[in-house]
Amino acid sequence: MNIGFIGFGNMAQAMTDGLLLTGAAKPQQIFVCAKHWDKLAANAKKRGVVPCRTAAETAEHAGLVVVAVKPYLVEEVLAPIGEALRGRIVICVAAGIGCSRLEELLPEGIHHLTVMPNTPVSVGEGVILCERQHTLTEEEFAVFRELFSKLGLVETLDASQFGIAGDLTGCGPAFTAMYLEALADGAVLYGLPRETAYRLAGQMIVGTGRLKLASGDHPGAMKDAVCSPGGLTIAGVASLERDGFRAAVIDALAAIQERKAR
Q: What span, in angstroms and rounded, lies between the C-alpha atoms of 94 and 224?
A: 40
Q: Are residues 174 and 144 in the same domain?
A: no
User: 117-131 burial, b for 16+ CB within 10 Å, e for fewer?
Assistant: bbbbbbebebbbbbb
pLDDT, tens only, 19-32: 999 999 999 999 99
| Mean pLDDT on 194-214 | 97
Statement to judge: residues 31 and 103 lie in one domain: yes
Model confidence at 261, in pLDDT bands (50, 70, 90)? confident
Domain termination site, one of 157, 187, 213: 157
State residue 262's pLDDT score.
Answer: 85
Q: What is the pLDDT of residues 74-121, one digit of tens each?
A: 999 999 999 999 999 999 999 889 999 999 999 999 999 999 999 999
Q: Which domain holds residue 45?
A: 3-157
Q: What is the pLDDT of residue 238?
A: 97
User: Domain check: are 169 and 153 in the same one?
Assistant: no
* Domain match, 245 and 151 both: no
Final residue belonging to a domain, choices 119, 137, 157 = 157
Helix (H) or strand (E) holding 112: strand 111-117
% of the chain at pLDDT higher than 90: 98
Domain count along the chain: 2
Q: Within this chain, do residues 170 and 115 fall inside the same structural domain, yes or no?
A: no
Same domain, yes or no: 148 and 19: yes
Pairing of strands 111-117, 126-131: antiparallel
The band of 143, judged by pLDDT with boundaries at 50, 70 and 90, is: very high
Can you give the C-alpha Rg of the chain in angstroms? 21
CATH code of the domain in which 257 resides = 1.10.3730.10
pLDDT at 177: 97
> What is the CATH classification number for the domain harbouring 76?
3.40.50.720
Q: Report pTM.
A: 0.91
pLDDT > 70 in the chain, percent:
100
CA 19 to chain centre: 13
Residues 88 and 130 occupy one common structural domain = yes
- 63 with 88, same domain: the answer is yes
For residue 241, the one-letter residue type is E
pLDDT at 137: 96
For residue 226, pLDDT beyond 90: yes
In three-state secondary structure terms, 66 is: strand
Same domain? 32 vs 85: yes
